[in-house]
Chains A and B, each alone.
Chain A
Amino acid sequence: AQSVTQLDSQVPVFEEAPVELRCNYSSSVSVYLFWYVQYPNQGLQLLLKYLSGSTLVKGINGFEAEFNKSQTSFHLRKPSVHISDTAEYFCAVSKSGGSNYKLTFGKGTLLTVNP
């Protein structure tokens, strides 16, 4: 089974500051990794994903994440945040092989961007 730990439940930052949202995972098999964003009262939108290849992945809205296999981490970063980035961010993992790719989510990190 897989599990995900998001180390910060809330991250407040000022506009135009850099931000890092931390995610660690645990799995006995190879995994795919994802970051989803959820704006208030909305669904889950895919930010970025790591399936294979380059460990640095770029997503939408200027976000990027780096897969670190030795540290079992997949931290999300943005060099300069905007007010509109205020949302809940979920890190998720699935198995990378077989026939079932159900997602296991972390508890989420609430990013609040203040003016």
Chain B
Amino acid sequence: AAGVIQSPRHLIKEKRETATLKCYPIPRHDTVYWYQQGPGQDPQFLISFYEKMQSDKGSIPDRFSAQQFSDYHSELNMSSLELGDSALYFCASSSTGGTQYFGPGTRLLVL
């Protein structure tokens, strides 16, 4: 069965640089969620989209923005990167109100 695809899987950036993470949901899933998991931490909700509209917002820094496109893929844009942004970023997708299925994550390292 098709799963959630995230790219890139690994990313190394310098402080103050910009990063873009991509998420391709399971076909026919209309909702995308982004989570951030710091080292040794539990995943924290960042933002979600339903039918290309932002549906909820969590503890996402103002330096981060995201959107969902017409083909339902989503991108998380991160600017002015800080050392503390180093984390595993997960995307999850679901059909309306359904179970969330997670992608493998993008591991971001900020040097």
Which residues does A use to contact B, with CB under 8 Å? Answer: 34, 36, 42-46, 49, 90, 99-108
Taken together as a complex, chains A and B put the C-alpha atoms of A96 and B95 apart, in Å, by 14
CB distance from A2 to the nearest CB of B (A): 11
Q: Cβ of B104: which chain A residues have Cβ within 8 Å of it?
A: 42-43
The answer to whether B50 and A99 have CB atoms under 8 Å apart is yes
B102: which A residues are within 8 A, CB to CB?
36, 43-46
**What separation, in Å, do the CA atoms of A35 and B35 have in the docked complex?**
16
Most A CB contacts (10 A, CB to CB) among B35, B43, B103 go to B43
Check A43–B103 contact: CB distance below 8 A: yes
Q: Is A102 within 8 A of B42, CB to CB? A: no
25 contacts between A and B (CB under 8 A): A34-B99, A42-B104, A43-B90, A43-B102, A43-B104, A43-B105, A44-B90, A45-B102, A46-B100, A46-B101, A90-B42, A99-B50, A100-B55, A100-B56, A101-B100, A102-B45, A102-B56, A102-B58, A103-B35, A103-B92, A104-B45, A105-B44, A106-B42, A107-B41, A108-B42
A104 to B50, CA, bound (A): 18
What secondary structure prevails in chain B residues at the interface with A? Answer: strand
- Write the chain B residue with the least CB distance to A101: B97
Are B99 and A46 interface neighbours, CB within 8 A?
A: yes
User: Residue of B at shortest CB range from A110?
Assistant: B40
Interface readout for B35-58 with A: 1 if CB under 8 Å, 0 if not?
100000111110010100001101
Inter-chain contact A99/B33, CB cutoff 8 Å: no
CA A10 to CA B48, docked complex, whole Å: 31
Q: Which of A42, A49, A102, A108 contacts B33 (CB 8 A)?
A: A102
A46 to B101: give the CA distance in the assembly, Å. 7
